[in-house]
Structure 1
Amino acid sequence: MPTAYDIILEGLKMSAVKSLGCAEASYRGSSNIRIFIGLLALTFLAFILRTLRIDFQPLWWDEGWSVYFATADVPTMIARTAIDIHPPLYYLILRLWILIIGSSAAAVRHFSVLAGTLSVPLIFLIGRRLFDVRVGIMASLVMALAPFHIYYSQEARMYALVAFLVLASIYLFLSLLEREGAASPVQWLLYIVITSLAMYTQYYAVFIPVSQTVFVLAGLRRDSGFLVRWVGAQFALVLAYLPWVLYSGGKLVMYVSTKMVKEGDLPVGLHTYFQEHLLAFSTGHLSEARAFLSWIAIVFVALIVVGIVGYLRYGAQHYFGIWRPTRAVAFTLTYLLLPLSLGYLVNLRYPFTSPGIERLFLLSAPAFYLLVALGLTWLWRRLHLWWPICLFLLVVSAPSLVDFYSVERYAGDDYRPLIETVQALARTDDVIVAVHPWQIGYFHAYYDGQLPQLYLTPKEPTDVTSEEWAADPALMARDLDGLLLEHRFLWFPAHQALGRILESDAEGYLSQRYYPILSQWFADSTRLSCYAGGQELDTRGEQADFGDKVSLLAYSMTSGPVEASWGAVLMDLRWRVDAELDGKYQIALRLTDEEGQVWASQDSEPVGRLRSFHEQPVGSEMSDHHGLLIPAGTPPGFYELRLGLYRLRDGRWLEILDREGSPQGVEVALGTVEVLAPSSSPPKEALFIQHPRQADFAPGIRFLGYSLGGETFQTGDAVEMTLFWQALADLEEDYYASVRLHDSGGQTRAAIEGPLAKSDYPSSVWARGQLVRGFQSLLLPAGLTSGKYDLSLSLYRPTDGGLLPLRRWGLDWGDSCVLGTIEVRARAHEVEQPPSIGHTMSMRLGEVVQFLGYDLDRQEVSAGDSLHLTLYWQALSEMGTSYTVFNHLIDTENHIWGQMDGTPGGGSLPTSSWIAGEYVIDEYEILVQEGVPPGEYLIETGMYDLATMIRLSVFDAQGAGMGDRILLEATPIYVSP
């Protein structure tokens, strides 16, 4: 294919042969230089606008298809495009482009940028030939600023290319018409080649030679020789296109017919059809929020009317084109309207009404821009100034451009976060299973580095939307089994639209046979799942009773060793539902160290979230598989895997009951897991740092950033921080981190110090390049005032307290870095004693809380009723722990028949926010269990540390120990039959 430079050069040569007349000659010399500089400036402007924020809009499905075709082998590409709605030339050229430039989203879009940018000088040549130099310059400006043209010059599709090729065909066509019998065979051959290339780029490009032929026949004079040559050229076009028609015609018709049935689109009316296309040519594709800007199209239509009328009336006196005014306008209107009209007829038989379908006629949009330029040139001649016209065009184009550059069009289908997640966690020995070819294209465009194997689910030979797996579930099972046998993990981005039947079938099979280790939603349309294949499970356990509602009958798991970042703990669970459940319950898996710190977690419903406990019949059993991924940065060592169940609605945990029915906490220990350092370093992205930072501390520790549980906190809250580190060298000493909270005056109001990671994994054993994460919990004092506070970080040697300097460019830059700012909200504290307490008591819990008494709404209840209990506390001092209050309805054997545990004040009054002397009124609803035997019961209350499950000791008014609970003996509860 000739380059754009060759086309323009040939056009300039042909222009030089023909005399331009006296008026045209006036543009020679210095005037020609000004024109050249102006055209160069407009071309540069077009390039800037077409590269501006080129990565802002995410790839959408069609662009994914482009990359999929362009990265496939050529035979597959040809076969697939034969049943697609576009011929293969664009994909072939894009394939060569990718081999040179790369397959990233920006790279593949830059090919369209190139085609769109080169169209700007080409429309100048056409405008100058049809009308005059001023119209050519204005047409270049209109196209350079056109939102519609910019939109598709930033899209990895064939539309910018076909528009460029059509412009080249138009220019060559005009040259042939002007030369008539004097045109050389080379010029005819060039026209045939360029037009054929356009037709091999987009099917609707065939409307261009049809329109040209109509114009030739309508304006034919007595030059029968030209007509013969023209018919011969069209016959050559047919011959050039015939092989593709024979190869793909039947397949294409079958595919389009199937697509029509599936999508069910209806033909668009004539008025709506032309209105939508002219609107798109004027303003591009406006977002829903800025659809009101569509009125701008009226301005462009008015310019066209003014331009045509003015040119037809005064063209001979004020314009200096080669063509007669009526002929120039007639051709431009033919170029614009005839392809659109033929497209409308196709719409009546094969309707497609997807959003943005006007893109199919970007090839006719230059005619629209020429007519707009005609109107602007008329204004230019009336005002005798060019800059107000340019400013006016910029003003009417700017709102649409701002909309395009600032509103993400496919936010719900943005695969970038999903692919970043896969890239952070996957290895080259994994496999990614895609149902849709455009997903394959997304991974080629967005995945940085060596891809895992990409596997496209088998398709029917004549329809890429028909799935062989859907017709043959046994084939699906065999293929999935084979993939997981050969690969470490299987990644499955399941598109949850377009029916999602196959996606659901595949997820169901994988979740029942293998080990789900990740299930994460991205926007509303896609769920990313990851599965591990079967391994030998070497640790086994027996039954655990979760509140007499659900039983864990048996389990088995891998005990390791498991590599951090790359490995997962796999487990088989066997459940039985023992009672009716009110709502969804989640399975909580936690990997904890000896201090109770959670290093890995997963919350899900059974069978990969495909089944729910509360939907299962009482007495039913089910098998359940889970995989817990060990996150990057987890220090090597031994950890305990714990399991619990909680209600999703309110986060209430089910108690683990022993054989006598006594609570034993809310988690059961499944076994010990050994974690190893990764055999190969994971990428930093695998840490998923919420607030990336980079600060290098001598002698070789890099702080990578931190993550917080929020940005706004209340007094008494613990600010849970995860700090991320990288060893830049082999460290010889142990270092500690100090995190401090500063007020606006720089005064330290709170601080926490501790090891960088685990106490049994000091920095002195870190390997060069190793990624490590650690946790710090900074308690916000109860006495803080509301406001913003800064967090700072410093490192020191615990042996002598010496601070480590920050290093930058080989110099010391202080000894601390600012992490960020948090907002703290203080609450009011009640220091007046409650006016009345129904049942006064005087009990002390530890050395920190005084129990003053309680109120109870009633003492006679039935099964299923609730008791309203109000507790009265007084803080004796500030506390560094947020204690949980327990309230149990117990029988004489201490069996629990009703329970409500929680943070005081329904979570709003944690004990860590109490100040000395503060009074707290604390209310609870205790639900009496179904099936409770009639009789007399008591309520016991008290406090415990949820992290350790250790209760506060209770003392009476004389200081005598009373155990670890308070019995509300003054108000026995009577349960009636």
Structure 2
Amino acid sequence: MRTAPAGERCARGTTQWHLALVALVILAFALRAVSLERQSLWYDEGVSAYLTTLSWDALTRWTADDIQPPLYYYLLKLWCAAAGHSEGALRWPSVLFSTLTVPLAAVLGRRLFSRRAGLIAGLLFALSPLYIWYAQEARNYAMLLFLTLLSSTLLYSAWVEKGARPAWGFWLAYALVTSAALYTHYFAWFMLLFHGLFVLLVWRIERRPAKALLHPAASWMLVGLSFLPWLPFLLTRYRVDESYWAGTLKVGEALRKIALSFTLGETVLEGIGWRLTAGFLVLTAVCVLTLIIAGGNRKHFVLFLVLYLVVPVAGVLALALRSPKFTPRYVMPSSAALWLIFAGGIEAFWRRRLRVGRPLAAVLTLLAGVCLLYPLAGFAYSDHNLYTDPAFTKPDFRGATRYLAAHREDNEAVILVSGHMYPIFDYYLPATERLLLPPDRILSTEHVLNQGIGQTLETALRGKAGVWVVRWQDEVVDPNGWLDLFLEQAGERLPVEAQFWHVRLEHFRLDPSRPFPTQPPIAEHMETNFAGLAQLVGWDQPAPDIYRLYWQALQPIADDLMVSIRLLDEQGLLWGQEDRRPAAYLYPTMRWKPGELTFGQGTLPAQPGTPPGSYTLEIRVYRAGQGT
């Protein structure tokens, strides 16, 4: 029997590897391109679409004041000039960037471990529910994942594979790609932190000469110089971001969400998802331990992947401690390390089985199979939900605006609450006059609706026969319900015979001949002072079993005040009690502004069997956690 020469076998293996990789790329592209327009664009995508319609100067000024830098929007604007502004056209760049991560992951897996590990990494990237989800979103996250993965691949190639030998081409490419990542998303800085730690640790472990740091230092200097013109905007945005409530990040909860997102994406309910994620965490630990053992004296790849997974996540969480605005997609680039760890662990199990006895070989084969099949089974479950389960859909602005366009009369106004949603509203209903409440470009927790909107509504709705209200994130800007309070005084609420995922429509009939109320309907005024912090200024009873209490802060309030509302009969016997925040739950007293009027509405706390008669409503105010 003739044995093929080593060179021929190598060439055949290379060809087979490339053919398998092409098949993975085709699979990844198909999964990302299928049903691309099935879901509505949501708000963030509406902003992307809106920015493509601006001039280059206006786009740059917008992003200078926004939470994202401009590179993705520049590319999207160029793309849309050729491909149009349909939902699919807006999402195609994300499809392409996400598809390109598959061969890139395979190349990095091959460099870290082996050809087989590279293909396993490519398979996991191709099927990842997280990557498919963001491949079908007109935002910068797929592009960020690609750029940070490419940047990390170049770093590993230049610093580990090239070592101390001159590799200016790799380092220059690394600097350019890293700069592009920073201009795509600000949190790419935390990937740069991981790169710096990896370089310094390898330099220290291998005791390389100081001059070896010249290449990475020069690259980082180029990156810093390239970002210098945009640095003031980053620092300003960090100081003034008001798009989330002040508070403290719940780190444990954030870590659970990250683990769930990395493994099963956005299309699994948290209850079942967390149980499945526990298995992923165990297998991750097993793979890391196996790589440490299998690496021998060469453990650069373990250090590289662990830092890749941990450092950016830790950096983003540390930043979020100041303001608890956090979503797992902010740290999505680190998820790439997870699947490379799995690919390396599977390869290590498979190789070591050839060097041990039969019983242990069977165990290692089983471990390799579990580490591969468990993620694939989880992916299949989550991907099935993504394509078939309507519970995992983006906010349905398309459906809501279509319903509005079909049912709105000519003499009816439109109000957007929160007003910052206008880019996505205008995408689906261009040239439609609308009132923005509040009139903000970016969501702000500081701009909360109050009684002052009465005058605004009176002017905007004068002579109108009706009004439609589109609600999204209204719990942030109108937590107490001032808009409904005025509209229910002025007109009649009409039924809306449809519901839309995460977007609400309300419809009111107005009487154009009737004066529009500009003040709240306080039935009885009072000035009951509670320790100089706040006062109860009045109440009304819009329905027999509904009460409404009006409050005013007398000074800034640092405490979370609570109110105990007690229903007492003429003998002083208690027939019901409700303890709650004085206003809406999402508007605690720490957010009240001195002199501002606010209100809280609730149902009279009458126990079942409460007899008819005269009752007194007793109100007590206390600090949360300190009782009455």
TM-score, normalised via structure 1 length: 0.45
- For 2:343, give the aligned amino acid: A
Where structure 1 has 5 or more consecutive residues not aligned to the other structure, the ranges are 1-22, 317-323, 533-569, 575-610, 616-977
C-alpha spacing 1:291/1:57, structure 2 compared with 1 (3 Å): farther
Counterpart of 1:49 in structure 2: which amino acid? L
Aligned residues: 498
1:227 is aligned, of 204, 208, 213, to 213
**Contact between 1:429 and 1:452, CA under 8 Å: does it hold in 2?**
no
CA RMSD of aligned residues (A): 4.3
> Secondary structure, in 3 states, of the residue corresponding to 1:157?
coil
**1:38, distance to aligned residue in structure 2 (A):** 0.8
Q: Supply the distance in 2 between the matched residues of 1:169 and 1:476 (Cα, whole angstroms).
A: 51
Partner-residue secondary structure (3-state), 2:299: helix
Aligned to 2:232: 246
Give the aligned partner of residue 348 of structure 1. Answer: 321
- Is the Cα contact below 8 Å between 2:386 and 2:392 reproduced in 1? no
* Alignment correspondent of 1:329: 302
Q: Distance in 2 between matches of 1:410 and 1:395?
A: 19
Q: Contact 2:494–2:508 (CA<8 Å) still a contact in 1? A: yes
Letter in 1 for 2:263: S
Is 2:249–2:321's contact at 8 Å kept on the other side of the alignment?
A: yes
Please give the per-residue CA displacement for 1:735-771, whole angstroms capped at 9, x wherever unaligned.
xxxxxxxxxxxxxxxxxxxxxxxxxxxxxxxxxxxxx
Aligned equivalents of 1:205 and 1:458: distance in 2? 32
Cα distance in 2 for partners of 1:89, 1:24 equals 47
Question: Structure 2 matches for 1:862-901, cutoff 5 A?
Answer: none
Match of 1:551 in 2: none
Letter in 1 for 2:217: V
1:367 correspondence with 2:337: yes
In the alignment, structure 1 residue 498 sits paired with structure 2 residue 484: no
Q: Given that residues 160 and 362 in structure 1 are in contact (C-alpha distance below 8 angstroms), is that contact kept between their aligned partners in structure 2?
A: no
Give the letter aligned to residue 294 of structure 1.
W
Match of 1:291 in 2: 271
Deviations 1:583-623 (A, max 9, x none): xxxxxxxxxxxxxxxxxxxxxxxxxxxx99999xxxxxxxx
Q: In the TM superposition, what is the alpha-carbon distance from 1:372 to its structure 2 partner?
A: 0.9
Q: Amino acid of the residue matched to residue 314 of structure 2?
A: S
Counterpart residue identity of residue 163, structure 1: L
**Which of 114, 136, 139 is the aligned partner of 2:96?**
114
- 1:550 counterpart residue number: none
Q: Tell me the CA shift for residue 337 of structure 1.
A: 1.1
What amino acid maps onto 2:470 in structure 1? P
Match of 1:282 in 2: 263
| 1:526 maps to which of 469, 492, 504 | 504
Name the SS for the 1:285 alignment partner: coil
CA contact (8 A) 1:65 1:437 kept: no
Q: 1:168: which partner in 2? A: 150
Match of 1:217 in 2: 200
Q: Please tell me whether the aligned partners of residues 400 and 503 of structure 2 are also in contact (alpha carbons under 8 angstroms).
A: no
**Counterpart Cα distance in 2 of 1:283 and 1:88:** 30
Q: Distance in 2 between matches of 1:435 and 1:614?
A: 29
* CA deviation after TM superposition for structure 1 residue 472, in Å: 6.1
**2:10 is equivalent to residue 40 of structure 1:** no
In the superposition, relative to structure 1, how do residues 428 and 85 fare at CA in structure 2: closer, same or farther (>3 Å)? farther
* 1:585 equivalent in structure 2: none
Q: CA deviation at 1:328?
A: 1.1
1:308 is aligned to 2:278: no
Question: Which residue of structure 2 aligns with residue 376 of structure 1?
Answer: 346
**Alpha-carbon shift at residue 476 of structure 1 (Å):** 3.1
* Paired AA for residue 141 in structure 2: Y
User: What residue ranges of structure 2 are gaps of 5+ in the alignment?
Assistant: 354-361, 516-540, 546-628
Matches within 5 A, 1:52-67: 52-67=34-49
The verdict on how the C-alpha distance between 1:31 and 1:194 changes in structure 2, with shifts beyond 3 A counting, is same
Letter in 1 for 2:341: L
Partner of residue 236, structure 1: 222
How do 1:810-889 residues align onto structure 2 when only pairs under 5 Å count?
Answer: none
The separation in 2 between residues aligned to 1:411 and 1:236, in whole angstroms, is: 42
> Alpha carbons of 1:472 and 1:87: their partners in 2 closer, same or farther (altered >3 Å)?
farther
State the Cα distance separating 1:374 from its structure 2 match. 1.4
Q: 2:13 aligns with which of 9, 18, 31?
A: 31
What pairs up with 1:747-826 in 2 under 5 angstroms? none
Q: Equivalent residue of 2:138, what SS? A: coil
Of residues 25, 32, 44, the one that matches 1:50 is: 32
The code of the aligned residue for 1:133 comes to R
- Counterpart among 429, 432, 435 of residue 452 in structure 1: 432
AA at the equivalent of 1:349:
R
The residue correspondences of 1:690-709 to structure 2 (distance < 5 A) are: none
- The answer to whether the 8 A contact 1:518-1:529 is kept is yes
| 1:278-307 superposed Cα distances (whole Å, 9 cap, x missing partner) | 33212223543x622433334433443443
User: Residues 763-793 of structure 1: CA distance to partner in whole angstroms, max 9, x if unpaired?
Assistant: xxxxxxxxxxxxxxxxxxxxxxxxxxxxxxx
Secondary structure at the residue paired with 2:68?
A: coil
Q: Take 1:343 and 1:613, find their aligned partners in 2: how far apart are those partners?
A: 48
Q: Distance in 1 between matches of 2:248 and 2:153?
A: 36
Give the counterpart letter for 1:203 in structure 2.
Answer: Y
Q: Distance in 1 between matches of 2:398 and 2:134?
A: 21
Offset at 1:206? 0.4
Tell me the equivalent position of 2:416: 434
Quote how far apart the aligned CAs of 1:251 are: 3.8
Q: Find the counterpart in structure 1 of residue 119 from structure 2.
A: 137
Indicate whether 1:192 and 2:178 are aligned: no
Indicate the residue corresponding to 1:928 in structure 2.
none
1:137, distance to aligned residue in structure 2 (A): 0.7
Displacement of 1:407 in angstroms is 3.1
**Displacement of 1:182:** 4.9
Cα 1:29–1:413 shift into 2, 3 Å: closer
Shift of 1:127: 1.0
Structure 1 position 223, deviation (Å) = 3.9
Scaled by the length of structure 2, the TM-score of the pair is 0.67
- Aligned residue identity for 1:277: I
Partners of 1:74 and 1:469 lie apart in 2 by: 33
Output the CA distance in 2 between the equivalents of 1:411 and 1:78.
Answer: 31
Structure 1 residues 55 and 438, CA gap change in structure 2 (3 angstroms): farther
Name the amino acid aligned to 2:344.
L
The alpha-carbon deviation at position 28 of structure 1 amounts to: 4.0
- 8 Å contact 1:162–1:198 — kept in the other structure? yes
Contact preservation (8 Å) 2:445, 2:477: no
Q: Supply the distance in 2 between the matched residues of 1:499 and 1:456 (Cα, whole angstroms).
A: 11
**1:93-114 deviation line (CA, Å, top 9, x unaligned):** 3333333333343333332222
Q: Which amino acid aligns with 2:300?
A: R
Once the two structures are TM-superposed, the CA of residue 163 in structure 1 deviates from its matched residue by 0.8
Q: Do 1:490 and 1:531's aligned partners in 2 also have CA atoms closer than 8 Å?
A: yes
SS at match of 1:333: helix
2:84 matched residue in structure 1: 102
CA distance in structure 2 between the aligned counterparts of 1:520 and 1:206, rounded to whole angstroms = 48
Residue 222 of structure 1 aligns to a residue whose secondary structure is coil
Who is 2:570 aligned against?
none
SS in 1 for 2:187: helix
More helix by share: 2
CA radius of gyration, larger in: 1
Q: SS at 2:476's partner residue?
A: coil
Structure 1 pair 509–233 and aligned structure 2 pair: CA distance change class (3 A): same
Query: Match for 1:85 among 41, 64, 67?
Result: 67
Greater Cα offset, 472-481 or 306-315: 472-481
Q: CA deviation at 1:326?
A: 0.5
